[in-house]
A and B are shown apart, each in its own frame.
Chain A
Amino acid sequence: MSFLEIRGLYKNLREFSLKGINLDLEQGRYLTLVGPTGAGKTILLECIIGFYLPDRGNVILNGEDITRKKPEKRNIGIVYQDYALMPHMNVYKNIAYGLRKKTKQNIPEKVQEISESLHIDHLLHRMPKTLSGGEQQRAALARSLVVRPRLLLMDEPLSALDPSTKKDLRRMLRRAIKKYGTTVIHVTHDMDDVWTLGDEAAVMHEGHIEQKGLLGDVLEKPCTDFVAEFVGCTVLEGKVLSRENGLTEVDISGTRLISYDQAEPGEKIRAIIRPENIILSRTTPEKVSARNVLAMRVLEIEPENGLNIVRLVCEDLTLNVVITNNGLHDLELRPGEEICAMIKCIHVRLA
């Protein structure tokens, strides 16, 4: 039995809906929930916290069915993208607001402690509208964390912030969540949040959870094409040729790849490769530990989020490779040129 169990949750709000959500989360884990706009991520959070009553299904927290419990009785915190600070209260009163309901003791000390750990102790007397986005979000986070919620839900908490504030806040968030040992579900669009914050990841699509698991598994072994595309993997359809010395040889439309994953000869498989697990070289090395060394041609190069996506082709095989600006500069790559791509066999995942 998990700390949080969601069983067969349905909710129809016309443009958004949940269609049979099942989800398990252990105490103290940090789950990032990703998916395209309209996938139903926010409604799922609002069903968990109790702002929507699901049409069907159950939400069980710590063994107790809370599906019909009022939001104020659940002790679940929420942090929104637009901060939702009370505009008529200063930062101190905002943070103390939830504490006042639960306890009469040590409120100033508790507010001071959480504000110090989120570096907003100098802003306590300020009104929310006088703060920057990052400061407002830290105040909102402090307000939710200070009451020690059993579960903290965050709906794109960082997406309204500029990149450098985002980076700082991610670091602070990670530290604060660890310190308080809070169980978290964090809805995001940003794969950087998934990489840096989550222990686990779940991908939602059209009201379903397509895949949920440990971060590495979801990122490297997506179980559907949708998840693969969403997390940026290349998926190649193929067939297993042989299995020798613990390595599996697969045929991908004429190109042979070696994988460390197990599969039976003759079996139809999908080989999944992450773009950052491919190394490019101008020359073909004679002796190299990588089991897959492919002579490919550069199709195009596109900048993305400060990195570069290089699209390579070799017969019917297309691969995306992500390289830094420095890497691109050293290789002096141009479209149409020949290049050698190397992939370790553990990075060719079979599904």
Chain B
Amino acid sequence: MFRRIDFFRGGVIAVSVGVTAILLMAIGSFLIVPSWGAVWENMHSSELLFSLRLSLWTAAVSSLLVMLLALPIGYALSRFSFRGKAVVKTIMDLPVAFPELVLGLCLLLLFGKTPFGKFLQQSGLNFVFTQKGVVAAQFFTALPYAIRIMKSSFDFINPRIEFVSRSLGYSQWETFLNVTLPLTKSGITAAGVISFARCIGTFGTILILAGGSAGKTDTLPIHLYLNISYGNMDMAVTSGIILIIVSFMAIFIFEKTEADL
């Protein structure tokens, strides 16, 4: 028996496979183009190790801060209705649509030019062209993604389970700890991993707020960019390979936890 040709089905599948193939070729070109000897050598160079270390610790700190704030904000947006909720939601989502460069410029103006920024500088928190700025840039870039994941993961929990916990004598805070948090374990992992990947990959925001100074604020993406501009392709590719490895690991963990959601 012959199945009738279904143009719609065939069309959408062909598009999916075609685009995946192009992406795969683009990623694969990383493995073909460089000279592996140079890549191996670059992996041990002090500049790259500095960038890797800087990327890892700043991303760890920023994703921790992101999660600390995404939990309460996601919960508030999921569970409570309050005046100005729509505004909070829109503003929190803005950075998703903003070009990173614009976000970076906004932060540069906030921390550099406003009385609030001046006050922070006097208190010892200088975010402009410093490693603290790297953390701030990563934080604001990743926060909306984490809030979205946390909100939908709280939405997924039946609020009646929390009601029952309260009717059995547990306060709102105790209920959050005993019931809500354990039930949103996979959501927290997913949001954490995505935040970390987003922080590691942040480029434009860091470039504007923290500057792209080598040996000071050059995280892996900045390192990659600087080396391309110097014409040092092998070094750029080496940073790229490390970034790809980190992204793949993040997506792998994310997919794993998403299956449990």
Contact = CB atoms under 8 A, between A and B. Distances in A.
Interface of A: 46, 49-51, 70-72, 74-78, 80, 82, 84-88, 97-98, 101-102, 140, 143-144, 147, 149
Interface residues of B, number: 16
> Which of A85, A98, A102, A149: most chain B CB closer than 10 A?
A98
Contacts, number: 61
Given A71-B163, A78-B163, A84 B158 contact: yes
B64 to A, nearest CB: 24
Nearest to A97: B168
Nearest to A101: B169
Contacts of B163: 46, 49, 51, 71, 78, 84
> Which of B158, B161, B164: most chain A CB closer than 10 A?
B164
B171 A72 contact: yes
B251 to A, nearest CB: 26
Nearest to A88: B182
Interface in B67-104: none
Interface in B163-185: 163-171, 178-179, 182-183
A78 B182 contact: no
Contacts of A51: 163, 166
B160 interface: yes
A138 to B, nearest CB: 15
A84 B161 contact: yes
Given A88-B182, A88-B183, A97 B167 contact: no
Contacts of B179: 86
A101 B174 CA distance: 10
A49 B167 CA distance: 7
Given A46-B163, A84-B160, 11 more contacts: A51-B163, A71-B163, A72-B168, A72-B169, A74-B167, A75-B169, A80-B160, A85-B161, A86-B165, A86-B179, A98-B169
Contacts of A74: 167
B182 A147 contact: no
A70 B166 CA distance: 9
B167 A77 contact: yes
Contacts of B167: 49, 71-72, 74, 76-78, 144, 149
A78 B171 contact: no
22 contacts: A46-B163, A50-B166, A51-B163, A51-B166, A70-B171, A71-B163, A71-B167, A72-B166, A72-B169, A72-B171, A78-B167, A80-B160, A87-B183, A97-B165, A97-B178, A98-B169, A101-B170, A102-B169, A144-B167, A144-B168, A147-B168, A147-B169
